[in-house]
Amino acid sequence: MKKYQLGEFEEVVTLTVGVLFPDAYGVSVKLEIETRLARKVSVGALQSALKRLEEKGYLKSSEGEATQERAGRPKRFFTITALGKRALEHTKETRDSLWASIPKMALQTKMIGL
């Protein structure tokens, strides 16, 4: 069902926005992903994903207060929408179904010669 399709990075970003609720903004999302997944995230890739997820209707954003430490620029905070929640649920159900369909023997094979 392409309607709710999330790429792997989009899924990680959306889940992280949920984890950080209500304080999910670009830098906090980047740091959380890097810490939890031990994975480097470029600012450009993250900003592109956040914009794409907002365009799909999975996230919505709002501006916070402008601060002196940010040279008067406000932070842009993100939250998951109802559609985003359905996309995450669909992705989880799909993954769970695939995991449940793997025969036990397929995961119990021994690595020979390693």
pTM of the model: 0.86
103 in a structural domain: yes
Domain count, the chain: 1
Would you call 63 exposed, middle or buried from its count of C-beta atoms within 10 A (0-12, 13-18, 19+)?
exposed
Does residue 103 have a cis bond before it (omega within 30 degrees)? no
Q: What is the largest CA-CA distance in the chain?
A: 60
CB 84 within 8 A of CB 14: yes
List the CATH number of the domain containing 99: 1.10.10.10
- pLDDT tens by residue, 14-44: 999 999 999 999 999 999 999 999 999 999 9
63 in a structural domain: yes
112 in a structural domain: no
85 in a structural domain: yes
Task: Identify the domain containing residue 85 by its residue range.
Answer: 2-107
